[in-house]
Structure formats: structure tokens, C-alpha cells
Amino acid sequence: MEWNRALAIALLGTTNLACASTVPVVRNIGGAPDYSVSFVSADPEPGSVVTPGQTVSLTITVKYFLQARSTGRVFLIFENEANHVVDPQHHQASQDVGKGSGQVTVSDSITLPTNLRELHVFVPLVPDGMTHTSGELMLIYRARRPT
């Protein structure tokens, strides 16, 4: 009986790890037919561990497609696990893009709150003149307090 319980606990732990590792750390949310962004790379890699209370620097590269307007901007927006802005006073880093398609890199640094459990970095392409957009990337970083 003890052996069966130990095996069940071991299998449950393995299942939980497998499920946790299959959660996507880069997600496309929504979409629009005439503008979009897609993931190329990020430093640190999505899924990496960040430390609450410390400053994290991110560099994110995306491919973009823009036909809706002649220009637009790709932003980095930092939110917590409840999708609340991490620091409302923080100026959002962005890069201008022109009509057509290409690749753009946006970098920024932010000091993380001490109660952070996950950092969500949203990367939308906002065509100029539009206030409501559809389609963006979300990159997820795990938070772990120092021991």
C-alpha cells in the first residue's frame, strides 16, 4: 500500500510538471486582417524566471505586417498575472513601423513589484489613429523570490 501511494505521488508530480511545461509562454491574442505581429525572439527567453523587487531588462524582436495605416507603433506593456499594469507611471517603450512588413526590436527595463507572481509582456502593433486594436503577443515570465 505504501509503495502504491508513493508511486501515485511520484506520477502526480510528474504529471504536474509536464502540464506546467506545456503551458505556452508566447501567445497570440486576437488578430486583425490588415495588421499583426508575430514572435521572433526575446532576451531573456519567455518562460524564464524573473525576480520580484529587481529590475529586469527585456529585448523583444517581432515580425510585423501593417496595411491598415501608413505608420504604426509596436509597444511593450508590462502587466502582472492579473493583467494589471505593473507600473502605471512607467513610459511604454515603442518603435515606429511603416506600411508593409518587416522586423523590429523593442527594448525596455522595469523594476518589478515585490508581490509579482508572473510578468506578462504584451506586444501590440497599434496603427496610427486607432485607439482600439486587435491582435497582440503575450510573453509570460515566471517570478520567483530570492531565497
- Mean pLDDT, consecutive 10-residue stretches, the chain (147 aa), reads 38 38 80 94 97 97 96 97 95 97 98 96 96 91 86
Task: List domains and CATH numbers for the chain.
Answer: 25-143 (2.60.40.10)
pLDDT at 146: 72
Nearest to 137 by CA among 1, 28, 13, 35: 28
pLDDT at 22: 58
Angstrom distance (rounded) from CA 64 to CA 26: 16
pLDDT at 145: 80
